[in-house]
Chain A
Amino acid sequence: MVGANNKPEETDQPEVMIEVSVWRGDAEAGGFRTYHVPSRQSQTVLDIVTYIQRNLDPELTYRFACRVGMCGSCGMTVNGKPRWTCRTHASQVISNGKLTIEPLRNMTKVKDLAVDMTPFFDKWVEAKGAFVPTKTRHDEIEAIKPDSKERRAADAAVECINCGVCYSACDVVAWKPDYLGPAAINRSWTLVNDPRDGAQAERLKVLASDAGCSNCHSHQSCATYCPNLLNPTRSIAGVKRRVMVAALKGEV
């Protein structure tokens, strides 16, 4: 009943094809394979990957879930840059009819475009990215003014969806695998600014540790590539200031 065409206007011209190089392999070995995918008016990088799996190579592996930039599962390296593929229109990234798609960097490869995010989340926990309560479900919710300085700082950083794009873009993570990385410290920063949290001293100690904020050289890759337009570099700078104050007081 309903037409659902997504093709360019009917013409005598042959279909426009995109030449797509996709990294295929696993943790041990791999390389690029080339596919030709028809161009569509409405087409994201995720759609291109999906087309390949559905029509050209049924064994191609990739991750996705929500399709709308909320779950952070579909991060890949596209033409050398980390991005969400569900929210990247093909026309934004295709150059000379070509496209290269690889798994996110700084993560262990599982298969093809899917990576293991376990170390990324281990660091999230290590950076004390989990709230430590001081109240219970039987207490009233704390009144906190939304325009307080702390809350504004936390709000500016809190909309991270842990997609790993910043982590993948970070040079320091590449050099020093123990580094907690921009996403974990960014989350920690929101808690440093949360008066409800009960582990401030312990958190600052971790942030001041060898794996912590001092590793950041402010290359700004995280801020450049964050698809949510967050600025983890700024959060890390905030953490550095707090750590410094704590150090002067002999607390870390």
Chain B
Amino acid sequence: MIEHLKTDILILGSGGAGLFAALHAKKAAPELDVTIAVKGLLGKCGCTRMVQGGYNVALGKGDSVERHFMDTIEGGKWLPNQDLAWKLCKTAVERVRELENEVGCFFDRNPDGSIHGKAFAGQTFDRTVHKGDLTGIEIINRLMEQVLSRDVNKLEDHRAIGLIPNATGDALAGVLMIDMRTGNFRFVQAKAVLMATGGGPTMYRYHTPSGDKSMDGLAMALRTGLPLRDMEMVQFHPTGLLAGADTRMTGTVLEEGLRGAGGHLLGGDGERFMFNYDERGERATRDIVSRGIYAEMRKGNTTPNGGVYIKMSHLGPADVRKRFNGMVRRCADCGFDLAGGLVEVVPTAHYFMGGVVIDTEARTALPGLFAAGEDAGGVHGANRLGGNGVANSTVYGGIAGDEMAAFVKSEGRFHDPDKGVIGFEIERALKPFSIKPGDVNVLREKLMDVMWEDVGVMRTEETLTRGLRRIDEVEQELMTVGVPAGNKAFNLTWHDWLNLQSLIEISRVIAQAALARRNSRGAHYREDFPDPGAMETSTFTVARQKDGVLTVKEEPVAFTIVKPGQSLLDDETVKTPNALSAVEVNPR
């Protein structure tokens, strides 16, 4: 039995994008019925909350939207959609003021009371607005309160499993969900839907994102036939905690500031190795340090759990404890002495630059469907600057809210769902109950190994081809491994199965897009094609699935605002980006 619900605007996800969309939609059109659906509890899922660094915005004297934009384009290795990147940088100014003046966030101040901007790697101006090193908590707490105090419907513990078009396939009718608490299906019919579930590359053995994330949004978009861009672009953070198997601590991020402050990375032999790879040593950029660590791991120069060590003690344990209080406490809670001892670390999948193709109004190719945040692609290109992630989700979430309200008022209407697609999605979701129960987690670990080994930090045609074959094998095995047909209510093992299916579907797209890109740009590194290729003829990948067949095409980047070799800044004002050594840590 399927329960039916109707709402004018349905928002999937309650991170920065989802919550901002709700506030903006409600402000633009208070008479509309707005509903937020979230896989867990409102404001507690997703990754905006986990933002440590801060929010890039051109507020400071001497900074400009142009400068922020140029940093974003250079950081993205000329692959970003320039119109999206421009709108990000321009709107961020208003969005941060909105966060402070209307939402109630309080960001760190300079002694004179003005907003403090900290230095962050890869940028030419100290423009990262922050709240200590817990910026995300401040932003999400304040947004959550605003949403909770408004007339917005909540569907908590609701998991979206399928985007349901109308019978002719030219508009979105709504979203099929599972009410996780009861285990029942629920079709939510809506005039406009925002997909803001957050990407999050959790299909890698080591990953930082929130554990609820499993690429459900992108998998739904893929099954709906929507174009996905930059899917090969997975950002690895060099220092994820390595605590071994069977613990959710493994993969969680240890902040970049540790390296910036002078932390050393040691191989299993106890020696520093980063200077063999880059003259900046541990202070090289994230991608270079990740590859350096990975190379040592491949050589077998590893710690007991197969990673490397980070060492801070030479900076003075008391000082480290003071400067990195939060990190030291977290490590201590988990049994590690970051200030005085050695902690095992490993590169860890951190952020997903790829996503659904959107325009500057957050519209997708399917009328009625909008996407924002990590579900949407094109803003960051080949690499995301630290501090541009939360800017992206809040800027485009707000834009999506405005646009959905306008869309619903001008042309929005309820469409009848394609019953065939609903039937297909229900059958897909119930599949695990019809096969012999088995160990879903073993398969999840298998996928994580495949992605880490073959589609990870360093790739070749050989590894990617093998990876694609192994992903197929995991998928075939999943079709033989079921879940006990007992109580469907809040059955996490059922949801683990569904999570894994989403991850498999998107893993295949990552591998195929990585195979298509025969050069090395930003986060994507091909050992067999190490050159970045000519910037002037840059292309980005677009993946699409039709009738079960996945194709990846390359499309030329349209340099609509600035061409490679040019800058929006006067020659004399062009600066070198901050190296990690200049990064200010924990200014509190």
Main DSSP-derived SS at the B contact region = loop
Residue B453 CB within 8 A of the other chain: yes
Determine how close the nearest CB of chain A comes to the CB of B313; give it in whole angstroms: 20
In the complex formed, the residue of A with least CB distance to B335 is A89
In the complex formed, the residue of A with least CB distance to B104 is A131
CB <8 Å contact, B44 and A72 = yes
Cβ 8 A contact of A131, one of B42, B110, B146, B333:
B146
Given A6-B305, A72-B44, A141-B97 in contact, is the A194-B244 Cβ separation under 8 Å? no
Given A44-B248, A87-B330, A154-B106 in contact, is the A141-B101 Cβ separation under 8 Å? yes
Determine how close the nearest CB of chain B comes to the CB of A181; give it in whole angstroms: 15
Cβ 8 A contact of B252, one of A40, A64, A68, A141:
A68
Cβ 8 A contact of B334, one of A58, A87, A147, A162:
A87
CB <8 Å contact, B148 and A59 = no
CB <8 Å contact, A71 and B49 = yes
Given A44-B248, A47-B246, A67-B248 in contact, is the A141-B115 Cβ separation under 8 Å? yes
Interface residues contributed by chain A, number (CB under 8 Å): 77
In the complex formed, the residue of B with least CB distance to A26 is B489
Determine how close the nearest CB of chain B comes to the CB of A189; give it in whole angstroms: 14
Residue A224 CB within 8 A of the other chain: no
Given A139-B101, A145-B112, A146-B113 in contact, is the A63-B40 Cβ separation under 8 Å? yes
CB <8 Å contact, A2 and B111 = no
CB <8 Å contact, A158 and B104 = no
In the complex formed, the residue of B with least CB distance to A133 is B102
Q: State A192–B202 Cα separation when bound (angstroms).
A: 41
In the complex formed, the residue of A with least CB distance to B138 is A158
In the complex formed, the residue of B with least CB distance to A111 is B490
Determine how close the nearest CB of chain A comes to the CB of B351; give it in whole angstroms: 15
Cβ 8 A contact of B249, one of A44, A62, A147:
A44
In the complex formed, the residue of A with least CB distance to B491 is A59
A residues 63-80 touching B (CB-CB < 8 Å): 63-73
Residue B298 CB within 8 A of the other chain: yes
B residues 101-139 touching A (CB-CB < 8 Å): 101-104, 106, 108-115, 132, 134, 136-138
Instruction: Provide the residues of chain A in CB contact with B134, threshold 8 Å.
Output: 70, 159
Given A58-B483, A58-B491 in contact, is the A2-B212 Cβ separation under 8 Å? no
Residue B141 CB within 8 A of the other chain: yes
Cβ 8 A contact of A5, one of B46, B50, B305, B440:
B305
Q: State A58–B334 Cα separation when bound (angstroms).
A: 26
Cβ 8 A contact of B490, one of A46, A70, A110:
A110
In the complex formed, the residue of A with least CB distance to B181 is A110
Residue A201 CB within 8 A of the other chain: no
Q: State A117–B43 Cα separation when bound (angstroms).
A: 12
Instruction: Provide the residues of chain B in CB contact with A143, threshold 8 Å.
Output: 109, 112-114
Given A58-B484, A61-B492, A68-B252 in contact, is the A135-B145 Cβ separation under 8 Å? no
Main DSSP-derived SS at the A contact region = loop
Q: State A129–B108 Cα separation when bound (angstroms).
A: 20
Instruction: Provide the residues of chain A in CB contact with B44, threshold 8 Å.
Output: 65, 71-73
Cβ 8 A contact of B333, one of A66, A88, A124, A151:
A88
Cβ 8 A contact of B100, one of A4, A130, A141:
A141
Most buried by B among A55, A70, A131: A70
CB <8 Å contact, A140 and B97 = yes
Determine how close the nearest CB of chain A comes to the CB of B306; give it in whole angstroms: 4
Q: State A70–B52 Cα separation when bound (angstroms).
A: 10
CB <8 Å contact, B111 and A146 = yes
Instruction: Provide the residues of chain B in CB contact with A146, threshold 8 Å.
Output: 108-111, 113
Instruction: Provide the residues of chain B in CB contact with A89, threshold 8 Å.
Output: 333-335
Q: State A51–B248 Cα separation when bound (angstroms).
A: 10
Most buried by B among A6, A41, A88, A117: A6
Instruction: Provide the residues of chain A in CB contact with B110, threshold 8 Å.
Output: 146
Instruction: Provide the residues of chain A in CB contact with B98, threshold 8 Å.
Output: 136-137
Interface string of B468-507 (1 = CB under 8 A from A): 0000000000000001101101111100100000000000
Q: State A142–B94 Cα separation when bound (angstroms).
A: 14
Q: State A114–B518 Cα separation when bound (angstroms).
A: 47
Residue A221 CB within 8 A of the other chain: no
Residue B302 CB within 8 A of the other chain: yes
Q: State A117–B49 Cα separation when bound (angstroms).
A: 18
Residue A3 CB within 8 A of the other chain: yes
CB <8 Å contact, A138 and B97 = yes
In the complex formed, the residue of A with least CB distance to B52 is A70
Q: State A112–B490 Cα separation when bound (angstroms).
A: 9
Residue B11 CB within 8 A of the other chain: no
Most buried by B among A44, A131, A145, A147: A131
Residue B142 CB within 8 A of the other chain: yes
CB <8 Å contact, A135 and B102 = yes
Most buried by B among A59, A87, A138, A140: A59
Residue B184 CB within 8 A of the other chain: no
Residue B441 CB within 8 A of the other chain: yes
Determine how close the nearest CB of chain B comes to the CB of A41; give it in whole angstroms: 7
Determine how close the nearest CB of chain B comes to the CB of A145; give it in whole angstroms: 5
CB <8 Å contact, B101 and A133 = yes
CB <8 Å contact, B491 and A41 = no
Residue B579 CB within 8 A of the other chain: no
CB <8 Å contact, A68 and B100 = no
Instruction: Provide the residues of chain B in CB contact with A158, threshold 8 Å.
Output: 106, 138
Cβ 8 A contact of A44, one of B94, B95, B114, B334:
B334
Interface string of A157-186 (1 = CB under 8 A from B): 011111000000000000000000000000
Q: Could you name 5 residue pairs across A and B whose Cβ atoms are closer than 8 Å?
A: A1-B298, A59-B484, A59-B487, A125-B149, A130-B145
Q: Given A3-B302, A50-B248, A70-B49, list of 16 further CB < 8 A pairs?
A: A2-B297, A40-B247, A44-B334, A59-B493, A69-B330, A70-B134, A125-B145, A131-B102, A133-B101, A136-B102, A138-B97, A141-B100, A145-B112, A145-B113, A158-B138, A159-B137
Closest 7 CB pairs of A and B: A131-B104, A6-B244, A143-B113, A2-B306, A42-B243, A58-B493, A137-B98
